[in-house]
Amino acid sequence: MSITIGLACQQIAGLPRISALKLSNNAQFRDPAGACKLIETAVFSGDQAMAQRLAGCRGS
Structural contact between residues 29 and 21, judged by C-beta atoms closer than 8 angstroms: yes
Per-residue pLDDT, 32: 92
CA distances from 57 to 2, 17, 21, 24, 37 (A): 33, 16, 15, 14, 9
Per-residue pLDDT, 60: 52
Residue 50 is given by DSSP the state G
Give yes or no for residue 2 having a pLDDT over 60: no
The residue type found at 6 is G
**Full residue range of the structural domain in which residue 50 is found:** 3-59
If one counts the domains in the chain, the total is 1
DSSP H or E run through 55:
helix 51-59
* pLDDT classification of 4: cutoffs 50, 70, 90: very low
Compute the distance between CA of residue 6 and CA of residue 56 in angstroms, rounded to an integer: 29
Q: pLDDT per residue over 26-44, tens digit each?
A: 999 899 998 898 888 888 8
